[in-house]
Amino acid sequence: MLSVSVRRPGKEITNDIVHEQIKKSVEYAAEKGIRIVADLDVRTARRAFESKYPDELQEMLLLQELETSEEKFVETVVVSMDLNDHYTGATTHYIPLYGRLVRVYSYALENNMIAPESLKDITLNCILISSSKDSVRVKIPVDKNINKVCVMVSFTHLTPDVFAPHLMEFQREIIRKYADIPLAGVFKDEWGFPPCFDGSPEKNQFWYSKYRMQAYSEKTGGRDLLTDCLLMYRGIRGKERERVLAINHFMEMSWQRNGALEDDYYHAVKEFFGPDAVVTTHPTWWPYPDLREQMKNGLDWWVATRDWAQTDEYTPFAARTALSKKWGSAVWYNMYYSSDKADYEKVVWSSVLGGGRINYHPIYPSHDKKKDTHLELLRGNLMQAESRVRLLNYISQSPLNCQVAVIFGHACTMNWAGPLYDDVGMDLVNRLWQEGIPADLIPSSEIENKSLVVDEEGWIRYGKQRYSAVVLYHPEFERSTTADFLTKLPGAGRVCSKPETGHRILMLTNMTEIKFCQCQWFPPPVLNRFIH
């Protein structure tokens, strides 16, 4: 099967001409024995969405903090960003369409936090000098007793709002339009908010819209998202707990909404193309579960519904193997590309040893542009390796057996006000693999949505994988359902009478390590090295 995407200026997939051309291409490919999986993502029809739902576009909220001066006014300009990724490289970027002043606060800082008695909304006192797609200029009155002001500006970009009420309906309309073409399937690649390549380390950028604001208010019992964006950004003395909760709610909304969109897309494909139609490709954007991926999709990899596990570039092996369990894949697939053919030769074998295969993405296999790069890629050891790997496909019926699950606190790793921000436990996971103990990396939210279960025989199970040992990594902000889940285990909190069927459960927090069960699955010296 060949996955194809139309990414050309003025050629959106909602156009009848594009539909007819894709139909001809699919018919031609069928004559050559090739089946086509088409990209019907809404990002290839952004102008059409804008035309139909002009008030449902994605906004980015930018916060700019300023020092006040001895003058009566301070003036500032907030500049928009031209966002771009692989979907927009050959066509219109996620360009800003217009900007607006949203709110202005003044306050005094104490120990790098806002003094609550000093906080004031001074928006009505400010003078909006200009606003456009490129920038917003504002003049702010100064209070001599206040040393900081924060300007909130929103820029609307050319892409659907992730929380747009008609987004699911629109993507279903596109899929329905192509249902008359004998496609092998449909794909959605690297879905989420537009790219933020640094993950906003200062936490002064928030994906925002009036619909997300409404959803946030409903989720939190009436809290105001704009007020909480200031709280999440700077922190207010006496509201430390509220800040942690606000971040947890905000980030949870990201993965839940993006996951729901992925799931609805999946089921729409099955509805219009039949149960045998495949839904690909990988949900991973930045191929590492860090702050960049958090801002893109809230680390929704494990709930982005697919027919088999797919990842990209240097996604950690533990995530690949976990996804193969979630989606029932005999092997996982990882899209890979490199400028060096030797890299391919290394990766093809390491992938096999790790229970997977690579999708060749040979854009850059040779430094010599005069050579036929595809032929150069397939010469020599790589072709021999691929021939042997294909033989393995006849006997690879189940994913790599990983006896250990590292379940990381989904909320904890995404909460920048918490104790261990941006840490999913990769150091621990890598040390396990280096000791010859393959481990699956799974977010704790998979307990909440009942994908991680305790089966009838008392095993923790993910898909068909049963685990002999589980590490609950930094569950600082978990719901009570996580504790309820662990207490279902036989022998939890006591020595098991049958160690061969028991689990060793470790809870690793920033303060302590609690042994729920003393069954010795790991060799003790090895385990102790991991703990200490």
Reported as a single tens digit per residue, the pLDDT across 475-495 is 889 888 888 887 777 654 433
Residue 500: pLDDT above 60? Answer: no
Residue 95: pLDDT above 80? Answer: yes
What is the share, in percent, of the chain residues with pLDDT greater than 70? 88
Q: Are 57 and 144 in contact (CB under 8 A)?
A: no
Tracing tokens 């010296």 back to the chain, one arrives at 525
- Residues 45-50: what's their mean pLDDT? 97
Radius of gyration from C-alpha coordinates of the chain? 25
pLDDT of residue 515: 40
What is the dihedral angle through the alpha carbons of 433, 436, 437, 439, rounded to the nearest 10 degrees? 30
Residue 436: pLDDT above 50? Answer: yes
Residues whose CB falls within 8 Å of the CB of residue 210, separated by 6 or more in sequence, listed in order:
none
Residues in the chain: 532
Residue 523: pLDDT above 70? Answer: no
Reported as a single tens digit per residue, the pLDDT across 11-38 is 999 999 999 999 999 999 999 999 999 9
Q: Are 283 and 364 in contact (CB under 8 A)?
A: no
Q: Are 36 and 75 in contact (CB under 8 A)?
A: no
Q: Of 185-189, 298-302, 393-397, 517-521, which gets the smallest average pLDDT? A: 517-521
Among residues 269, 198, 206, 271, the alpha carbon closest in space to that of 232 is found at 206
Residue 159: pLDDT above 60? Answer: yes
pLDDT of residue 513: 42
**What's the rounded Cα separation, in Å, for the pair 286 and 299?**
10
Q: Of 66-70, 151-155, 350-354, 380-384, which gets the smallest average pLDDT? A: 380-384
Q: Of 86-100, 119-133, 233-247, 511-525, which gets the smallest average pLDDT? A: 511-525
Residue predicted with more confidence, 97 or 527: 97
Mean pLDDT over the full length of the chain: 89
Single-letter code of the amino acid located at 260 = A
pLDDT of residue 494: 36
320, two tokens = 């690949």
337, two tokens = 């590309």
Helices (H) and strands (E) in the chain, counts: 16, 25
Provide the 3-class DSSP secondary structure of residue 263: helix
Among residues 216, 209, 196, the alpha carbon closest in space to that of 167 is found at 209
Core vs surface per residue 485-499: b (16+ CB within 10 A) or e = bbeebbbbeeebeee
Q: Are 342 and 420 in contact (CB under 8 A)?
A: no
386, two tokens = 């691929």
497, two tokens = 């009478």
Residue 528: pLDDT above 60? Answer: no
Q: Are 269 and 277 in contact (CB under 8 A)?
A: yes
DSSP-derived secondary structure letter, 501: G
Q: Are 221 and 213 in contact (CB under 8 A)?
A: no
Reported as a single tens digit per residue, the pLDDT across 335-393 is 988 777 778 888 999 999 999 999 887 654 455 555 555 555 555 677 888 889 999 98
Total Cβ atoms within 10 A of residue 282: 27
Tracing tokens 């922190």 back to the chain, one arrives at 235
Reported as a single tens digit per residue, the pLDDT across 122-139 is 999 999 999 999 999 999
Q: Are 173 and 266 in contact (CB under 8 A)?
A: no
pLDDT of residue 362: 61
Q: Are 386 and 450 in contact (CB under 8 A)?
A: no
**What's the rounded Cα separation, in Å, for the pair 173 and 326?**
28
477, two tokens = 């902000």
Q: Are 122 and 104 in contact (CB under 8 A)?
A: yes
- Residues 213-241: what's their mean pLDDT? 97
Query: Which sign does the torsion angle of CA 184, 190, 192, 195 carry?
Result: negative
pLDDT of residue 485: 85
Residue 439: pLDDT above 70? Answer: yes
**What's the rounded Cα separation, in Å, for the pair 63 and 202?**
10
Provide the 3-class DSSP secondary structure of residue 367: coil
Residue 530: pLDDT above 50? Answer: no
pLDDT of residue 520: 36
239, two tokens = 């509201």
- At 509, is the pLDDT very low, low, confident or very high (cuts 50, 70, 90)? low
Give phi and psi for 21, each to the nearest 5.
Answer: -70, -40
What is the share, in percent, of the chain residues with pLDDT greater than 90? 72
**What's the rounded Cα separation, in Å, for the pair 418 and 188?**
33
Q: Are 84 and 196 in contact (CB under 8 A)?
A: no
**What's the rounded Cα separation, in Å, for the pair 295 and 303?**
16
Q: Which of 80-94, 263-277, 385-399 has the highest mean pLDDT?
A: 263-277
pLDDT of residue 497: 36
**What's the rounded Cα separation, in Å, for the pair 263 and 251?**
19
511 CB-contact burial (10 Å; exposed 0-12 / middle 13-18 / buried 19+): exposed
**What's the rounded Cα separation, in Å, for the pair 292 and 460?**
30
Q: Of 102-111, 302-311, 368-377, which gets the smallest average pLDDT? A: 368-377
Second-level CATH architecture of 404-531: 3-Layer(aba) Sandwich (3.40)
Residue 502: pLDDT above 70? Answer: no
- At 505, is the pLDDT very low, low, confident or very high (cuts 50, 70, 90)? low
Measured in Å, how far apart are the chain's first and last C-alpha atoms? 48
98, two tokens = 């217009």
Task: List the domain boundaries for the chain.
Answer: 53-162+200-256, 404-531
DSSP-derived secondary structure letter, 341: H
227 CB-contact burial (10 Å; exposed 0-12 / middle 13-18 / buried 19+): middle
137, two tokens = 């200029």
Residues whose CB falls within 8 Å of the CB of residue 46, separated by 6 or more in sequence, listed in order:
12, 92, 94, 158, 159, 160
